[in-house]
Every structure is written in C-alpha cells, then in structure tokens.
Structure 1
Amino acid sequence: MKPTLLILAAGMASRYGSMKQVDGFGPNNETIIDYSIHDAIKAGFGKVTFIIREEFHESFKNIFEPKLKGKVEIDYVFQSYDLTKYGIDKQIERQKPWGTGHAVLEASKQINEPFCVINADDYYGYDAFEKMANFLNNEVRDDYFSLMGYEVDKTLSEYGSVSRGICKVSNGNLEEINERTKVYAKDGVIVYEDDNGNTTPLDADARASMNFWGFSPAIFKLTEPMFKRFVEANENNPKAEFFIPLMAEELVKTGQAQFKVIPTSSKWFGVTYKEDKPIVQKSIADLIENGVYPNKLW
C-alpha cells in the first residue's frame, strides 16, 4: 500500500494576512503545496489528504482537484472544535483549533496506511520526499517513526533570525527537540541567542525539524490519551496548542516509540510574512531554471 501525504492546511494564516496555503508562487500561479504534491507523487505516494477547516473545502476542491485528477487520490479532513470524539464532553471556547498534534489525530478515521505530515506553506525539496517514502515503505513500525532533519544553514532567512526546533540526536534517533527562538548566521557561524542576548554556536551538523514527520497509523492510539490530558490541563488556556514535537518527545521519553532523524540535503524555504513572497518566487524560478521542475507543473 502506497504511503499517504497529510498536509496541514487548517492554520489561520494570521501573520501573513491572507490564505497563504493557496497563494500562487510559481509561473502559472502554482502554490507551494503544488510543488510538495508533485514531489510526493514522483516519490511514490498514493494519496494526498488535506487537513483544513471545513469552510475552506470548496476553495481547496476548486484549486486542486482539476489539476490532480487521475494523478493521485485526494481526501479531506476537517479540523474542528468538537472534542466529543475523544470522549471529552466539555465545550471549550477557542479562537483557533488545538494545534498540529490535534490536526494529525483528526485524520485517524481516514488514514490506515503509513503516512507523512508536512506544513502546507513550506517547501521541502524532492530529496526529503524520496527519503521519507523509502522510510515509510521499508522501515516504519508501530514503535518506530521518523522526522526529516534539515541542515540548519539551509533553513535560515536573509531577513533576520528564525525560530527552529533543533534536534538532539543519538545513534541516528531523536533524543529531544530544543526550541531555539533566535537562530541566525553571524560571522559565518550559525548561532542562537537567548533572552539575555547571549549567543551560542550550534554544531555544524545540527539538524532542524521543519515539521516533516513519518508515522504508522499506530500514532493515533498512542497519542489520543496524551491529547485528552493536554485538553484537561489547558481548558482555561485558549492559546495552548498540542504540537507534534510534544507528542514525539513524550513517546521518546516514555519509551513508547523511537524517531529516526533522516538527514536531508534539501534546501527548505517557507512563507511566514508577506515580504517572504518574492524570495519564494525567486527560489522556485531558480529551481525551474535548473531543470528541477517544468515551467508548467501540471
């Protein structure tokens, strides 16, 4: 059974100011998602599942179904505020859903095969999809998952510091993820800065997690109890989010699962702010010029 690509696209896009998941960046208005799906199909993925808010459904169908028809199976999962499916009978008022870990759990009824999770607004590169497909086809187990580890210098911005989850790796497996909120290059060395302005160099071979994860369907049963505990602990904290790295760290620390950190040489780029758009357009134009993608993707 071919693996599935699960695309997280339910975010509010508040910082970007519009629905950036379906903004056009390629020469024919291709979205970043288009390039991810193109790479995933080439790497052997058999299905694309979009995690969206229900009100985006028609918009996504109109944008993606005409060009993907006959190329890959398409499915939709709606991330909602309904907690009754998790055995939680409370109505909890929130401005936005419960985060990326909750988004993955929402797909539990629709995914029965190994799958990977990516962000809608990040470009990951073909090498990453090929390596993830290989892992999902040959290595994944119900207690052995993965994440792509990016070379930190290939994830930086020219426009200031970035936040990165820096992986602590032991024998190729994840030990923990340390969130570094100010990472940048200084005098040819990549450093992170603490709240007091002190800088510490990162290891030259440090790996960053860019939210590209590989799982078997066992992840749903493993993490549902975690999510219930999280909701109970945070019912009065409307901004608390249940993130995938929280799930991963708990599984590692409790010995329930290991995560292989798969190294990739791909260059990552993404869109956080409006100012990022021309940089992403140029990056895609360069990839087309170098023959990585055709000028017209579909």
Structure 2
Amino acid sequence: MSAKPTLIILAAGMASRYGGNKQTESFGPNGETILEYSVYDAIKTGFGKVIFIIREEFAEDFAAKVEPKLSDKIEIDYAYQSLESFSNDIEFSKERTKPFGTAHALLCCKGKVSEPFAVINADDFYGLDAFNRAYTFLTQEIRDDLFACLGYELKNTVSEFGAVTRGEIQTNAVDEIVSINERKEIVLKEGRILSMEKDQQQILAADTQVSMNFFCFTPAFIDWMEDKYYAFLSSNKGELKAEFLIPEVADQLIKSGEARIKVIATDAKWFGVTIKEDAAIVKEELLKLSNAQTYTVDLWNISASIIL
C-alpha cells in the first residue's frame, strides 16, 4: 500500500481514577507528555498523520500544548468525542456524564481516515519496537478482513498501586485471536497477579498475553462497528457505567467470522498512568530512556534531523 498509515490517539478519557488531565501532563525530562513519545516513534517508523480524539471543550488547550512541537513534523487532525456523539436520537440517562468508551471514541473518527491506521491510548508508553511492527503490518499485510493487535505480557503491564483493565488474549495455532476477555479488575498482590472481577478471585499467569489497546485496522472496522454501537446504545441507554470498548468489539468481530485479528508480539516495555501513584514510575522510566540515549532529553529539539 502506498499511503502512509495514520496514528489515532485516544485522548478524550475523563481520568477519574487519576484525578487530573494526564493526557497533557508533563512526564518526560523536558516536560514531554507520554503521547509525545508515541508520536515521535510513529514519525520515526513512517506514519504520516496523527488524529487526536479529544473532548471539544479542551481543544484549545490541547492544541496549544502539542501543535508547537508537532505541526511541522507530521500532519495533525482532531476528532471530538462527547456523550452525544453518534447518539442516533437515542435518549440515554440524564445522570450519565461520561462518553461510552474507546470504541465509541474511535467511531468519532468516521470520515476522517481513509488509510490503514493504528489506534493507541494517550496515557500509555508502547515502545519503538511496537511501532516498527505495527508499521510493517499496516503497510504489508493488512486487509479489510485481516487486522492486528500488539500483544504484551501481563506481568509487564500491571500497577503496584491499584486495579487495571486488560484484554486477555486467547490465540490459535497461527497466532490469530480466538477471543479477547476484557478483565476490568486486575491487581498485583503479594507477588501474584489476580483477577478480582465480580468478587471472584482468579490467579492469572504472568506471561498471559494481553491487549494494551494498540490495534491496527482499516476504516472498514469503523464502518462495521457503527451498527454495533447503535445496538449497544439501545441496550445500555439507562446504564451509567456501561462502555463500548475496542477489545470487546474486536472480540465480536472475530466471533462473527467477518474478519481475523492476528497478534503481533512485541518485546517493548510498556508503562503508563492509571492512577496518580503511577506518575513517579513513568517519570523515572522516561528519564532512564533519556540517560540511555534511547530518546534525547529534549525530545523535539533535534528530532527533525533524526526522524524526518
């Protein structure tokens, strides 16, 4: 495929557990946000455009934070997610204030992307190896019926400070996903990784392969899930916490037989911020990467000569 792939970054989350706007918070040694490292790696590997999915009320502040650093290095666009986005005239509970999750956010990009794309979280660090592998797949293998998910080992994705949500991946003999089980209460306790969902404790293997919301799709996936969202909304319009999540929608797609999703294993080290206590670890890890000269201390000062 000749078109450069696009990177879509999910940055509209409310961050209720974190207690602040972590999407634009400084974590790098020169004040960089986590998402800047993802954009840096994407540019280095050959992505041609980035779309930020944000809340429209924060658009001005967000643009002021990222555009001075990025606008001359990669094409930038925005999509806005709100509770009312793609509501299709369905009335939902007036008590609900939070949009309906990551797949709902991706749906807000409908019409803005016409080439293969990767989608990631704004508050997760994925590593250069993951972007290299994603770019190769997006430019050499992807089809409207073959997508991909970057796979990480569970032991490298848990937090010492609280519960996290991870998509547990089951694969077949050719590394294609059979199912994605979205586990929403995974904790690290006394050296063991436990799933505490629905008050049932289950020990999970440290090398369990999980999704960190790094997927590779074509626009056909967005088109496919639109009707699924309307069905979801009809069933959950009265719910205050129900979410329409990418791993769960991907699992529906696999089970429908309309497309396959292969797992691309990466040895990149993941880290991210779910709760406030994670921030110190992220800052420490980014400083280590700078000290090791994996990234420059001032990420964008000389990046043009390195990555463009």
TM-score, scaled to structure 2:
0.90
Name the counterpart of 1:184: 188
- Per-residue CA distance 1:159-197 (angstroms, 9 max, x = gap): 35544221111121111122342343756xx54345666
Change (3 A) 1:278 1:163: same
- Per-residue CA distance 1:50-80 (angstroms, 9 max, x = gap): 0001011111111111111221000000112
* Residue 18 in structure 1 maps to residue 24 in structure 2: no
Query: Any gaps of 5 or more consecutive residues in structure 2?
Result: 301-308
Name the counterpart of 2:305: none
Q: Which of 144, 147, 151 lines up with 2:146 in the alignment?
A: 144
8 Å CA contact 1:162–1:184 kept in 2: the answer is no
Where 2:277 maps in the other structure, the secondary structure is helix
Where 1:274 maps in the other structure, the secondary structure is coil
Name the counterpart of 1:43: 45
Superposed, 1:32-181 pairs within 5 Å as: 32-83=34-85, 85=86, 88-92=88-92, 93=94, 94-159=96-161, 162-170=164-172, 171-180=174-183, 181=185
**Distance (Å, rounded) in 2 between the aligned partners of 1:12 and 1:191:** 26
* Residue 245 in structure 1 maps to residue 243 in structure 2: no
**Distance (Å, rounded) in 1 between the aligned partners of 2:195 and 2:5:** 39
8 Å CA contact 1:162–1:182 kept in 2: the answer is yes
Where 1:56 maps in the other structure, the secondary structure is helix
Change (3 A) 1:196 1:64: closer
Change (3 A) 1:59 1:229: same
Q: CA deviation at 1:89?
A: 1.8
8 Å CA contact 1:154–1:266 kept in 2: the answer is no
Change (3 A) 1:105 1:161: closer
Query: Matched residue pairs, number?
Result: 293
Name the counterpart of 1:232: 234
- Per-residue CA distance 1:127-163 (angstroms, 9 max, x = gap): 1011011111111110111111002222122335544
Give the aligned CA root-mean-square deviation in angstroms. Answer: 1.8
Change (3 A) 1:197 1:56: same
Letter in 1 for 2:72: G
Name the counterpart of 1:281: 283
**Distance (Å, rounded) in 2 between the aligned partners of 1:81 and 1:196:** 30
**Distance (Å, rounded) in 1 between the aligned partners of 2:102 and 2:242:** 11
**Distance (Å, rounded) in 2 between the aligned partners of 1:103 and 1:80:** 8
**Distance (Å, rounded) in 2 between the aligned partners of 1:295 and 1:124:** 18
Letter in 2 for 1:200: I
Letter in 1 for 2:115: E
- Per-residue CA distance 1:185-238 (angstroms, 9 max, x = gap): 756xx5434566654342x64211111111001012211110010011111113
Query: Any gaps of 5 or more consecutive residues in structure 1?
Result: none
**Distance (Å, rounded) in 2 between the aligned partners of 1:34 and 1:201:** 32
Name the counterpart of 2:261: 259
Where 1:63 maps in the other structure, the secondary structure is helix
TM-score, scaled to structure 1:
0.93
Change (3 A) 1:109 1:201: closer
Name the counterpart of 1:200: 203
Letter in 2 for 1:290: A
Name the counterpart of 2:6: 4
Name the counterpart of 2:299: 297
